[in-house]
Amino acid sequence: MSTEVAIAGVGMHPWGKWGRNFVEYGVHAARAALSDAGVAWTDVDLVVGGETVRNGYGGYVAGATFAQALGWNGARVATSYAACATGAQALDTARARILAGLSEVALVVGADTTPKGFLAPNAGERWDDPDWLRFRLLGMTNPAYFALYARRRMDLYGATPADFAAVKVKNARHGLHNPNARYRKEVTVDEVLGSAVVADPLHLLDICATSDGAAAVVVTSVDYARRHGLANPVKVKAISTVTPTFPNTVLDMPNLSTDPAGSAGEPERTFKESIGHAAYEEAGIGPEDVDVAEVYDLSTALELDWIEDLALCKRGEAEQLLRAGDTTVGGRVPVNPSGGLACFGEAVPAQALAQVCELTWQLRGQASGRQVEGARVGITANQGLFGHGSSVILAT
């Protein structure tokens, strides 16, 4: 039985701080994806929305929210929430119904309007909510957590702030030609190191912003694509949404401690390593087959971690790849040719779908100005709070 579905169309609303309702962004991206696919809205039989908890009732019922905004057409709806991995989970929901024969044409949409500054919990005192507790008890904003990971990398592998800055320099150069990117300006290592320290050792330019934005994907059965003349579409080969394995011995925010490890051996892989491993296993390929990667660079240091988590190199070798130019466009395995979150910022329900959009353009040869020549296989990586994670593998 085939486990493939076709990506018929992709679309985005440019990232920025527009100050408008998130539904407006989602509708823009959805219409762009439908146009790209050459599929009429009336042919869509399933809408899957990425939930955004900050934007009121409309965000909590995101599937129906977007269906209503586009004009009720009788389609089935579903809604997914997996924090920053929401978009991939929504895509997996669409894929599952298509493979089950319950849908032929699905529209997956994620959109967000974000506050200025840190992404903080919703208002109110919730003493049983670990996300709320990390702010109340520790003052643990997201950048503080990123900094702990960066410091860990320095201690274990000898990474330097200049290495982290070089990631920003690379991604800023990639994002120059991306029309959907919010920040399209080159920076130097000295400029990164000269920006304000937010959480030592990370500077302001090491950390992604919060943004408004949207992304949408039209997925169909392979048979539907064939019948409608979509020749050689990009296909979804795998979607991994695994949870951690007990004991989780590397601390993942917002948990304030690790699981006890005394009664069980350490798992073969960390949580983040298991995300990519499951995707490779499902797709029947290995990291050596990957031509391009879009990973979750909430901070510059985290990009280096993800390169190793996806087994694109051995532990402690990501800095060597970076310094050799292997992770830039034209290198052995370009990472974040879109510019990554360094150039986009976080629009939480949209960003895993934005990665899929970028890889689709790359595999079609449509990523003007940042094209990875000959790309045939791409992988994404994303992590959300509370044990959510995702990796999507696309191929032609």
* Domain definitions of the chain by residue range: 5-117+211-227
Identify whether the C-beta of residue 216 lies closer than 8 Å to the C-beta of residue 33. Answer: yes
DSSP secondary structure letters along 11-39: EEEEEE---S-HHHHHHHHHHHHHHHHT-
What kind and span of H or E run contains 391?
strand 388-395
Give the separation between CA 216 and CA 26, rounded to whole angstroms: 7
3-state secondary structure of 111: strand
HSE at residue 327, side-chain half, CA atoms within 13 A, is 28
Neighbours of 43 (CB within 10 A): 17
3-state secondary structure of 148: helix
Nearest Cα to 215, choosing from 190, 246, 181? 181
What kind and span of H or E run contains 214?
strand 212-220
Crossing angle between the packed helical segments 62-70 and 22-37, to the nearest 10 degrees: 70
Count of residues for the chain?
396
Give the separation between CA 231 and CA 10, rounded to whole angstroms: 16
Torsion of CA 59, 62, 67, 69, to 10 degrees: 20
Give the separation between CA 327 and CA 320, rounded to whole angstroms: 10
Q: Which CATH class is domain 5-117+211-227?
A: alpha beta
> pLDDT in tens for each of the 396 residues of the chain?
578 999 999 999 999 999 999 999 999 999 999 999 999 999 999 999 999 888 889 999 999 999 999 999 999 999 999 999 999 999 999 999 999 999 999 999 999 999 888 888 877 888 988 888 888 888 888 899 899 999 999 999 999 999 999 999 999 999 999 999 999 999 999 999 999 999 999 999 999 999 999 999 999 999 999 999 998 999 999 999 999 888 888 877 777 777 776 667 788 899 999 999 999 999 999 999 999 999 999 999 999 999 999 999 999 999 999 999 999 999 999 999 999 999 999 999 999 999 999 999 999 999 999 999 999 999 999 998 888 999 999 999
pTM of the shown model: 0.96
What kind and span of H or E run contains 96?
helix 86-99
The pLDDT value recorded for residue 385 is: 83
Give the separation between CA 167 and CA 157, rounded to whole angstroms: 16
C-alpha 10: how far from chain center = 15
C-alpha 344: how far from chain center = 11
